[in-house]
Every structure is written in structure tokens, then in C-alpha cells.
Structure 1
């Protein structure tokens, strides 16, 4: 007898063009809608109705909270890395993609457990080979290009000791695994896996060290063992999942999706989906600004 399909619910409707960057912060889900520059939340008092936290006039790729400063964020936005406050102006730490030979923007980003912020970039079209890079922002606010020659740098995710970094290049359907030294410098880079269907997008690591991957144009989320073996595939009712967030209390996976580039019946494209799972992950790591 075939196993029962996993029940998938629309947790929050929205029809977002490109919802991304799902993170668990202070007891609620936060996520971005990249092209509109919006940061949104699903607060405990309204868990199924997204609420806007802030809006930028440039694409907003992803954010991470700033430790000890409620309402403050570090962001991959526009052509660089910025600090955002509840009411003050944007403070740019660096705009390294201002000098790119093709129009380029920042994409997905996340903090590692050591409190450093990592974010990738890509051409606006997503089709220019080698236009993307990976950047690391240290607690002193300095921004460093760690890798270049990527096309669509996506979904950085870390093991809990900050020793391993998973990085997707969506355009090549490849997930790389980088070994890092204590200062966050790569000492080894290897191919972890390559998707046969769809492109790897947002990712997260669960408490067992397994990697969860949203498969853009694959209508699925995959879970991989640290040795690279595919453990499970969750089939979704819409083709473009963009990021994944495991709730810290366990038992639930939240998935952002996109309607960008889709026409006709694309199911609940642009909504936030919820799936019961037997897994958990810690809340999003914070930026430990000096």
C-alpha cells in the first residue's frame, strides 16, 4: 500500500511575487518579498495574516536580527549590506555590487552561529554566469567577498558549530559544502549534491544535521543526510518554493513560495505553506554587532 501523502496547508495566503528568506525570530515567522523590498511577519497574535514590518525602495533579499537590539536587522538589500532600524534611515555597511559590470542585486542571506552575516548575489536576470558572489559581514561591520564566480548564490545554511556552510548555485542546480576555519574562511569546497529536478533555493539545517532544500521549479522540498543521501521528498501543490523554516518546537515546516514568472493554474503560488514534519531547528542566529 502506498504511503499516505503528507498534508499540506496554506498557512498564510498572499500571492507574493517572490516571498523568500523565511526565518524564525522571537517567536514568529519573518520573511521578505524581494522585489517590493518588504519585510513581513506572521506574529503570534495573527499567525495567518502577514503584517508589514518595514519597506525599502530597493529589492530586499533577506534579513537577520541584530543581537540585543529588538527591531534592528542586518539585511542583504539592493547592491549591498545594510543595517535597518525601526524608524531611522538605512545605514549601508558596503555596496560591493555597485561596481558589477552587469545589473546585480543581493539575494538570500543568513547569520552563522558565530554571529557573522553571509549573503549571496546574482544578476537581476539570474542568467549571467559568474555574476554572483558570496559575502561575509563580520561583527565589526566589515564586508568581505568570500567566493566569486557563482551565478545565483542562494540559501546559505550552517551546521550548529559554524564549521560547515551549505551554499546553492541555483543556476547550476548544485549545492556546495564549504569547510570553514574559526574566522569564517573556507578551507575546503566540495560538491554536496546536484538536483535532478528543479533548482536549489532556500535551505536550513535541522537538529539532526540534515539539510532541507526548497526546489524551485521542482514543486518539492528535499531532506538530505549529511553524507548527501536523499532521505525524503515533500511534494508541493505549487512549483516554486523559495525557502524553508523549521519551527524550534518541532513538528512543522513553513515554506515560502513565489508566483514570479508563473501563469495559469500554479496552485497557491506566493503563499506560505505549512507541512507537519518530524523535525526542528533553532531560531535564526543573530548578528553580533560590536
Structure 2
């Protein structure tokens, strides 16, 4: 395992409270500021002026593009899953977290290669075991796939859609499940892929690179980790912010984009609550689309 500090650029100094969910979609980098319910896009980081695409009156955990109609998004927002139109209107598919015993919200989410949308949830006070993982099928049905989680975060898929990685941030655990790419059913219970220890930070947003390795934002550690698919830690990159929240690899060149948070930082710098960019030796893939629609 190697650990390095590489030149890191602050692409957007947005002073975001909790920037998250960075994805490369339709030739642009999109991300959210969860607690303010805002969605942003960045089309050209040589002129880093992000454009606000939407502002909701509920927290916005993550989005994925909708295959049809173009310009629409599926969103993990508030207490459920909704379609977000290009003009910013919401059409709710389901609000399963309305039916939970403690106040909760949706968190990170991603579309899989087969066109389903997966998103986690958490209690506002991080009640142990109150979080779940949901799958939204192309017909709009929302299914609870796993429960008993605490802060369900960073779902990420391999390119063939057969492996799902999921972080339970509060537990310091990265889980892995085999998935039937046709039905979306889990073929076995989640296995522990990595168990972090006190002082290592907590796993947050994740992505799988073009070589099948897993990149993990390490909340509280100011670091990004890259794991081999067999669980070995390959590399650690430090970043100038204590709370990196999501990682996104550019699909056509060797750049890693990292969102960070100001939340919980006593003496934040310009890199806390920002979008960062740094060189890496591998590329990623563009975000998959949800293949539903109305």
C-alpha cells in the first residue's frame, strides 16, 4: 500500500455545508448540497462557475439522469424517491421514510448499469439500525432491499452490474453484495468487504474505476482510498479537507473529483465545502441512467 499527497486544485469554492453525490453524467459533473436541497452542474472546470439546476424544499441526497425524457433526474430526496423535471418540479414515486419510527431522510444514491436506481437512508440523529437501502425499478416501484443499516452511503456498482458496494458510514463498514443484473435481486446477504478501525476515518461516497477497483471517500480522515476487488488497500491519497464526501473519476482522462463538507469542521479552509480535483492513474465511467420515465 502506498500513501501520497498529490497536487489538489479547488475547482469550486462553494462553501457548501454538505456537498455530496458527485457523478459524471451527460458530459458534465453534477453534485448536490444535501441540506440545502440544491443540485449543481459543472460543464467546464477551466471556467469553474457551477450552474444551479434545482433547489428543493427538502434535503437532496443524490440524483441520476433519467434516460427518457432527457434533462430529467431521479432523486433521493426528503423521505423518498422522486422524479425531478428540467424545470425543477418533483413527482414523488414513494416516500418510504415517512413510515419509519424516527425522523429520517434519504442519502446517497446511484443508478446501476441495468437502469435501476439504488439509494440509502439514515435517521437525522443517526439512530443505530434506522437506515435502509432502496431499489427503484424502471416501472417506478420502490423496494426496500436492506434494513438495519445506520448511515447507508455511497452505493457503487461494477461495470457489469453484478457487484454492489455499500458503505455503512457509522459502522465503519463497506459491504458487498452479489446482484442478479436481470432482476435486481440480491443473490446473497451482504458480506463485509472492508472493516475500518477507530482513527482510520469513516467510508462515505464510493465509485468503481475502469480496472474494477473501489475508491472511497474517507470522512474524518482527509483521505481517499483505493481498494483492489479482493479487499486489499492499494493506495491512499490525502486531500486538504477533513471531510471528503464523494468521489468521481472522469470517464475520459485521469482526473478525480471530490466533494467535501464544512459540516462539523471547526476551522474550515477553502477546501472544506468545495469541489476538488486531483490527478490519478486511472479513469472511471459515466453515470448510468435510470431507465424508467413517464
Structure 2 unaligned spans of 5+:
none
Q: Sort the Cα spacing of 1:195 and 1:266 in 2 relative to 1 into closer, same or farther, 3 A.
A: farther
Q: Sort the Cα spacing of 1:94 and 1:190 in 2 relative to 1 into closer, same or farther, 3 A.
A: same
CA contact (8 A) 2:121 2:133 kept: yes
Q: Matched residues in 2 for 1:286 and 1:160: separation?
A: 13
Note the C-alpha offset of 1:171: 0.4
CA contact (8 A) 1:102 1:123 kept: yes
Determine the structure 1 residue equivalent to 2:140. 141
Q: CA RMSD in A?
A: 1.5
Counterparts of residues 1-290 of structure 1 (less than 5 Å): 5-44=5-44, 47-87=47-87, 89-126=89-126, 128-181=127-180, 182-188=182-188, 189-196=190-197, 197-266=200-269, 268-289=271-292
Q: Matched residues in 2 for 1:42 and 1:202: separation?
A: 19
Tell me, what secondary structure is at the counterpart of 1:98? helix
Tell me, what secondary structure is at the counterpart of 1:41? strand
Aligned length, in residue pairs = 288
The normalised TM-score by structure 1 is: 0.96
Q: Matched residues in 1 for 2:203 and 2:88: separation?
A: 35
Q: Deviations over 1:234-284 (max 9, x none)?
A: 011110000000000121000000001111245510011101001111110
Q: Deviations over 1:32-83 (max 9, x none)?
A: 0000100001123874122100111000000000013221000000000000
CA contact (8 A) 2:247 2:259 kept: yes
Q: Matched residues in 1 for 2:87 and 2:178: separation?
A: 38
The normalised TM-score by structure 2 is: 0.95
Note the C-alpha offset of 1:5: 3.2
CA contact (8 A) 2:262 2:268 kept: no
Note the C-alpha offset of 1:178: 0.3
Tell me, what secondary structure is at the counterpart of 1:187? coil
- Runs of 4+ in structure 1 deviating by more than 4 angstroms, as ranges, are none
Tell me, what secondary structure is at the counterpart of 2:187? strand
CA contact (8 A) 2:53 2:88 kept: no
